[in-house]
């Protein structure tokens, strides 16, 4: 069923929201979901609107854990070793440290490397 297929895609509390927004019957069998419905779910996922309502203090600051394994990323360019043209930076990577400067530094450094990797990749594409 559609509702059961979403467990690995979204956080538990987000699943009912995505089901509702997708317009796909939660009891529909996954193999019966049309190409149009799948495409709509993909676009919904990629363009999911989020509204920030405020910030919290330093005592509540958290980091994310998990993410893309650094073994799957070229450290010089931050490009995926599995999918050419896909670059990663910051907390989408499976790295973490004490909240604050360490995580900020890894975010800035990987973003810098990714930006240069993207630029290099684009220049190589123009040459070919």
CA angle 50, 56, 60 (to 5 degrees): 110
**Are both 113 and 64 inside the same structural domain?**
yes
User: Is the pLDDT confidence value at 32 over 90?
Assistant: yes
Whether residue 17 lies inside any domain: the answer is: yes
Comparing 76-80, 92-96, 105-109, which segment has the lowest mean pLDDT?
92-96
Comparing 47-51, 61-65, 119-123, which segment has the lowest mean pLDDT?
61-65
- Name the residue range of residue 34's domain: 2-46
Whether residue 55 lies inside any domain: the answer is: no
80 beta partners: 73
Say how many domains are in the chain. Answer: 2
Whether residue 51 lies inside any domain: the answer is: no
User: Is the pLDDT confidence value at 79 over 80?
Assistant: yes
Task: Classify 79 as helix, strand or coil.
Answer: strand
Whether residue 73 lies inside any domain: the answer is: yes
User: Is the pLDDT confidence value at 98 over 90?
Assistant: no
Whether residue 20 lies inside any domain: the answer is: yes
For residues 22-44, give the mean pLDDT. 95
Count of CB atoms situated within 10 Å of the CB of 81: 11
CA 1 – CA 84 distance, rounded (Å): 33
User: Is the pLDDT confidence value at 3 over 80?
Assistant: yes
Whether residue 18 lies inside any domain: the answer is: yes
User: Is the pLDDT confidence value at 20 over 90?
Assistant: yes
Structure tokens at 31: 């193999």
The 8-class DSSP code of residue 9 comes to: T
CA 34 – CA 25 distance, rounded (Å): 12
**Are both 76 and 34 inside the same structural domain?**
no
Span between the terminal Cα atoms of the chain, in Å: 46
């Amino acid at each position: 069923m559609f509702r059961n297929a979403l467990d690995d895609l979204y956080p538990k509390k987000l699943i009912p929201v995505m089901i509702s927004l997708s317009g796909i019957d939660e009891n529909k069998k996954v193999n019966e979901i049309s190409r149009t419905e799948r495409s709509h779910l993909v676009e919904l996922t990629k363009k999911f609107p989020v509204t920030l309502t405020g910030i919290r203090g330093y005592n509540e600051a958290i980091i994310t854990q998990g993410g893309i394994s650094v073994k799957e990323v070229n450290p010089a360019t931050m490009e995926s070793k599995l999918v050419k043209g896909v670059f990663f930076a910051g907390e989408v990577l499976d790295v973490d440290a004490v909240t604050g400067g360490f995580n900020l530094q890894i975010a800035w450094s990987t973003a810098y490397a990714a930006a240069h990797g993207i630029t290099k990749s684009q220049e190589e594409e123009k040459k070919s």
